[in-house]
Structures are given as structure tokens and as C-alpha cells.
Amino acid sequence: MFSADQLIAHAVGDFLLQSEWMAREKTKRS
């Protein structure tokens, strides 16, 4: 079972990793 805190932390971690990856992809293209 996930607690709410774990779920939020996981979602935030995924969001940060995703935006970092997208930023990296954008700088690669330009």
C-alpha cells in the first residue's frame, strides 16, 4: 500500500525527471 505522501513524492519525482528530460531534448534540437 502506498501512503499519500509516497504517492505525491513519486508523482513529483516523475514530473521533475520528465521536465528535465524534455528540457534536455529541446536543447539538443536547437
Distance, CA of 16 to CA of 19 (rounded, Å): 5
Sort 29 into a burial class: Cβ within 10 Å, 0-12 / 13-18 / 19+. Answer: exposed
How does residue 29 score in pLDDT terms, banded at 50, 70 and 90? Answer: confident
Q: How many domains is the chain built from? A: 1
Nearest-angstrom CA–CA distance, 18 and 24? 10
Residue pLDDT, tens place only, 9-20: 999 999 999 999
Q: What is the pLDDT at residue 2?
A: 76
Map residue 17 onto helix, strand or coil.
helix
Instruction: Report pTM.
Output: 0.57
Domain that holds residue 12: 1-30
